[in-house]
Amino acid sequence: MILKYLNDNNRFSLHFLNESGSKVHVSEWENLQTEFLSQLAILTELHDNGLADYTDNSCEIETIDIVRLSEIDKQILDLPSIYPYEIFVESDGTLTHNSFKFKYGFYDFAPNGTRLRTIRNGAVIKVEENEYLLSENQYQICEAIDKFNKSADSDKGNMTNLKKLSEIKSLSKESGLTLEHFLNNQELFIPEKIKLDIDFNNGVLEISPSIEIKNAIGFTNTFDKFPMIRDVYPVLGDNGETTRVVISENQKTELQKVKAKRKVSDHNDIQEIIEHPELFFNDEEVDFTVFYSDRVKEIGIYSPKFYPFASPYKSQWIPGIVIKDKVLGEKRIYFKSQEKLSDFIEQKENAVKKNKQTVKWEDAEIPIEDAEKFIKTAKKQFENPNKPVKQEKKTDHEVLIIKENAELTEFSNGNELPENLKHNFYSISNLENGIALKEHQKEGISWLQSLFKENFAGGLLADDMGLGKTLQLLYFLEWHCQHCHDNKPYLIVAPVSLLENWENEYQKFFSPQNLPLCRLYGSVSLTKENIPAKNQQDAKRLQFKQIILTNYETVRSYQISLGLVDFAVIALDEAQKIKTPGTQITNASKALKADFKIAMTGTPVENTLVDIWCLMDFAVPGLLGNAKDFAKEYQKPLSDGNTDIILLTEQLRSNIGVFIKRRLKRDVAKDLPTKHDNEKSRIKKIMPPIQLNRYKQEIEMANNSELEGVEKRNQKLKSLWAIRDISDHPFLLESQILNFTSDELIASSSKLQTTIGILADIQSKAEKVIVFADRRETQKMLQKIVYDTFGIFASIINGDTPSTKQLEGKSKLSRQQTIDRFQTEDGFNIIIMSPIAAGVGLNVTKANHIIHYTRHWNPAKEEQATDRAYRIGQQKDVFVYYPMAIFPEDMKDEDGNRVKSFDEILDTLLNNKKALASNTLFPTEQAELTPDELFENIFSTKIESKPKIQTITDIDRLNPNLFEATIAALYNKQGFEVYLTPYSNDKGVDIVVLKNGENYLIQAKQTKSLVGNEAIQEIYTAKNYYQTQFKNQFKLLTVTNNEYSTSAKILAKSNDVVLINRTDLEKIINTFPITLQEIAKLETQRMIRI
């Protein structure tokens, strides 16, 4: 039996051949698990995560996903070795012409090397008789060039060609690609946005385009030099070099506007641009933040705006002037009597007589023109004090320019905080048979109903994940539409990935459904532009009783039309999307009109407390005042270590009052089974000697006294990650974990021993378990041991992000199908998941045991992972386990206390953070542990290790890069100066060794099969290149932990290549013993480029 692959340009087809050469049907592959467990594990994981498809007798994988596999996975699947040589790219034709093409070839080295005879098939390249696999970047470059060269001449041109060159240059840095001199010298810059700057002299506003290059003024000068907008602007640098600035079509449109508004002298035009730059420029292409900075004040082009307003005063309405200043904020002047207005009129008249442009009143300079408009309005208000005078209609573009409540509380719904809110539940009759509301869901619905009936503006539904916020909201909408007879629509805004779930849940929960559903996302037939007639038409089409499902991007793009719709209720799902004040999505959402607004999120505070201010400012505007004062009162104190966080957040919670409904799972425990997460969940076991010694070695390396400053911190950071992995298993760092037997792996890790015991206990109960681990190697180790110990081939859900949007849905479906399969199988079963995957909406309620093999450093996210099982739908008690590797009792510190291990220190710190994270209003992201919080605890104790001498068996199991470092260490021990070549583009040489004219180029081959001709061919081909680079003569050498084929021996002899086989290598190891520390030290010194 053998695993083989076939490939075309875009896909790899992997299949098993039996002894007769026939393909084995996929349904029989499970019979091969004993012999091919590692290979099947890789294929199954790809399939379970939506990155592979099964046919009758093969596993089909996109080429891009093959080249993204780790080097070890590629070796396990017996894919070709990585292409070691160079790709040389040249120009074919004139770069600026439509007929231009790129030429590329494969060379031993470039630009003056020998072109290799090759055949490329997708990511596989055949050089002579040897096959190699291109790296991800190399493959993408070849594909990009081929696609470009095949495109029609009409699709090419100066800008297109330069953009493609820029893309190739960015990919070439990590890919062993060399560009010809001409292409390499083309300095290109493609700006993401054009930045605007402003100046004001002699009544003229100057608007200048700028980009982030060294000679930014040079770009502006070049822009002015050409009367027409260009695709490319050549900008001369200080040293005579030319940078070509490539402008997109959309940016050209914006630059044309800048050209038209380069110098503006009309006062009204200047004020309009300064006040509303978004009406003149597209903020997706242009950065016009300068218009919102202090600069507009400094250069004297911005003056405050004055608007008349009416305010209630002693049961009547009085006039006033609001002064809006985008830099300094807002001021209001009230006229409480006609006598005061008369004084103002007199002041205005005096100013006119003295030919002044403004009238001074209450420390404000009010333009005469604005004063006269106000006097006219104020007189009308005093004539009719029982109701406010209707102000002049604002222009259409002001519809969605909102009062942000940023510096001042400009807008409030007037909802004062009631002491309490009586919850009255009103039932409906069309809830689907068999669906029963939980008590907390009834409470949530009655809360919404009561807020609405009491005429409050809205609320924040912030229930914990998995408590049924969707059902509560839909029930409220059904009740609302049955009892309110206005012909108004209901708007649900959610991330696009959740909209289908909203639709499914509505159909699942209610029969019949009283509201038609309208999908307003994807292809949307609304008007983006500010065209009043069309905007009103759009609004009219939507203005009837229905549920409109849309996403945040649609709200932002079509805000003018949607802003004209009069909604009954607006609900924002995953409302943390509007947590940042002032963004387009936030402002567009706040500008929508509705009788009642609901923000929904399980994480009301993620980064800062301002998050919840912004959510509440959507639901109940003005309740928490303005953002500036709020941040000063609540957010700023969080940075003070002396602040009582509990007291602070309780005060905030009190100020929000009845307008938030937040239940955690522990609060509704009567609706859920018991969760057992306590001291008994922490199962500690002393590390075996091999794990303990490897841990000590890493502590010694971290405390290396030779390092100082940043280097010392970097070493400690690196060692911290290493200690985390060693605590999981000592072989995870340097070794190929699957090269060990399960018995060897279990014997070497106390955490693994504990986990096996826990799993055995769960097996005896015939129940299901999720094991959380974040690293791929850890997941695969667990999968192997689970199979060998329990006979279960556990699926791995790793949370990888698919390469395209198209694959995203497929990936999510594949993961859910994998979970469904896990859940439907009777009895004991195990699934392995990444904590990251736990955040993508996957429900695993058939599992009632959770093992956190690797801990997440954010307790809120660890809790979220546990909640995949502990949520509505769970029928059994849930048990959580934290296996922990600890030190023996005799390891004491200077005070005689037992030294705490990484797992114990992490657990203590996480428990401290958990108390904060569970606080309703503490920012979840701030609850994450930082390395600095661990440094002192982990590295403060002095520990001595016993360096372990590496054996040939140890070296067999090292990761491939460390095998190379091992050979380097062996020659370093013999007095050679050694250089480890880069991971990619090494041209067939892994180590360069030098000593008094005795110099070698070495290729190191760690392999389970015989070394063939390619090793000899590669190192022989590389000789000239390295002799030129190092200016030395070299002998050639290959080293392997195996043997050489007969043909390789013959080829080596004829080309003077010395062969060192396993027997020779073992003798060298015994003569020059080396430790893992020595190997690791050399690995850190590996060359980045030759």
Task: Identify the CA nearest to 475 among candidates 453, 448, 500, 455.
Answer: 448
- Whether the per-residue pLDDT at 915 is higher than 90: the answer is no
pLDDT digits (tens, 9 = 90+) for 195-224: 988 887 777 888 999 998 888 899 999 999
Residue 447 in contact with residue 458, Cβ under 8 Å? Answer: no
- pLDDT of 848 > 70? The answer is yes
**Contact indicator for 129, 1013 with CB cutoff of 8 Å:** yes
Indicate the range of 139-143, 233-237, 680-684, 846-850 predicted with least confidence.
233-237
**Burial zone of 613 (CB within 10 Å; 0-12 exposed, 13-18 middle, 19+ buried):** buried
**Residue ranges in 825-885 assigned as alpha helix (H):** 859-866
- Domains identified in the chain and CATH numbers: 2-78 (no CATH), 86-181 (no CATH), 189-298 (no CATH), 312-392 (no CATH), 440-667 (3.40.50.10810), 675-939 (3.40.50.300), 952-1083 (3.40.1350.10)
Between β-strands 675-676 and 124-127, what pairing exists: parallel, antiparallel or unpaired? unpaired
Helix, strand, coil shares of the chain as percentages rounded to 5? 45, 20, 35
Q: What is the mean pLDDT of residues 640-656?
A: 82
Q: Concatenated DSSP letters for 588-600?
A: HHHHSEEEEEEEE
Establish how many alpha carbons lie within 13 A of residue 723's alpha carbon, considering only the half-sphere containing its beta carbon. 28
C-beta separation of 188 from 169 below 8 A? yes
Query: What DSSP letter does each residue of 195-238 carry, written as one string?
Result: EEEEEEETTEEEEEEE-SSTTHHHHHHHHHH-SS--SEEEEE-T
Centre a 10 Å sphere on the Cβ of residue 757 and count the other Cβ atoms it contains. 14
At 545, which amino acid appears?
K
When pLDDT is averaged across residues 678-702 and rounded to a whole number, the result is 91
331 Rama class: left (phi>0) / alpha (psi -120 to 50) / beta: beta
> Could you report the per-residue pLDDT of 787-812, keeping only the tens digit for each?
999 999 999 987 654 444 445 545 55
Asked if pLDDT for residue 864 goes beyond 60, the answer is yes
Lowest-pLDDT choice from 48-62, 274-288, 1039-1053: 274-288
902-917 vs 709-728: helix crossing angle, rounded to 10: 100
Mean pLDDT over residues 705-712, rounded? Answer: 69
Query: Could you say which DSSP state residue 925 is in?
Result: G
Give the other-Cβ count within 10 Å of 980's Cβ.
22
Q: Across 334-343, 585-594, 906-915, 1037-1046, which has the greatest mean pLDDT?
A: 1037-1046
What is the average per-residue pLDDT within 692-700? 89
Mean pLDDT of 324-333: 60
Q: Cα separation of 997 and 1000, whole Å?
A: 9
pLDDT grade for 606, boundaries at 50, 70 and 90? confident
Neighbours of 812 (CB within 10 A): 17
CA angle centred on 257, ends 256 and 259, rounded to 5°: 65
Average pLDDT on 1025-1034 reads: 91
pLDDT category, 307, cuts 50, 70, 90?
low
- Side chain identity, residue 947: P
Tokens matching residue 918: 């569970």
Nearest one of 659, 544, 676, 566 to 612, comparing CA atoms: 659
Mean pLDDT for the stretch of residues 704-717: 72
Q: In the prediction, which pLDDT does 922 show? A: 66
Count H helices and E strands in the chain, helices first: 37, 42
pLDDT at 401: 53
Amino acid at 557: S
pLDDT of residue 883: 97
DSSP 83: P
Per-residue pLDDT at 394 exceeds 50: no
Residue 768 · residue 822 · CB < 8 Å: yes
Q: Is 746 helix (H, G, I), strand (E, B) or coil?
A: helix
| Gap between the terminal Cα atoms of the chain | 42
Mean pLDDT of the 889-912 span: 87
User: Distance between alpha carbon 672 and the CA centroid of its chain, in Å?
Assistant: 32
Nearest to 665 by CA among 477, 868, 883: 868
Task: Give the separation between CA 828 and CA 847, rounded to whole angstroms.
Answer: 9
What pLDDT is stored for residue 327 in this prediction?
43
What's the rounded Cα separation, in Å, for the pair 373 and 365?
Answer: 15
Q: Token pair for residue 1013?
A: 């001709």
Question: Looking at per-residue confidence, does 377 or 753 come out higher?
Answer: 753
* CA–CA separation, 253 and 189 (whole Å): 18
Q: How confident is the model at residue 390 (pLDDT cuts 50, 70, 90)?
A: low
Omega cis (within 30) before 84: no
Residue with tokens 């190379």: 964
Beta strands 316-325 and 329-334 are antiparallel
Residue 715: is its pLDDT beyond 80? no
- Mean pLDDT is lowest, of 533-537, 805-809, 942-946, for 805-809
- pLDDT tens-place string over residues 248-284: 888 999 999 999 999 988 888 887 787 677 778 887 7
- Smallest Cα–Cα separation from 609: which of 574, 639, 567? 639
**C-alpha pair distances (Å), 193 with each of 206, 235, 277, 294:** 19, 17, 15, 21
Which of residues 634 and 767 earns the better pLDDT score?
A: 767
The residue with greater pLDDT, 666 or 6, is 6
Judged on CB neighbours under 10 Å (0-12, 13-18, 19+), 146 is: middle
Residue 325 in tokens? 């200043």
pLDDT at 236: 86
CA count, 13 A, side-chain hemisphere, 786: 26
Helix boundaries (H) for 543-623: 552-557, 559-562, 584-591, 610-619
Q: How many CB atoms lie within 10 A of CB 148?
A: 20
Tell whether the model's pLDDT for residue 299 goes beyond 70: no
pLDDT tens per residue across span 536-571: 899 999 999 999 999 998 998 888 899 889 999 999
How large a percentage of the chain has pLDDT more than 90?
44
241-250, 483-492, 662-671, range with the lowest pLDDT = 662-671
On the question of pLDDT at 1044 being above 90, the answer is yes
Question: What pLDDT, on a 0 to 100 scale, did the predictor assign at position 804?
Answer: 44
Using alpha carbons only, what angle is made at residue 84 by residues 83 and 86, rounded to the nearest 5 degrees? 95
3-state secondary structure of 989: coil
pLDDT at 762: 97
Q: CB of 832 within 8 A of CB of 794?
A: yes
Cis peptide before 512 (omega within 30 of 0): yes
Dihedral pair phi/psi, residue 1004, rounded to 5° = -105, 125
Report which residue type is found at 528.
K
Mapping DSSP to helix (H, G, I), strand (E, B) and coil, where does residue 1017 land?
helix
Cα separations (Å) of 944 from 703, 750, 840, 976? 11, 20, 44, 29
Question: Model confidence at 687, in pLDDT bands (50, 70, 90)?
Answer: very high
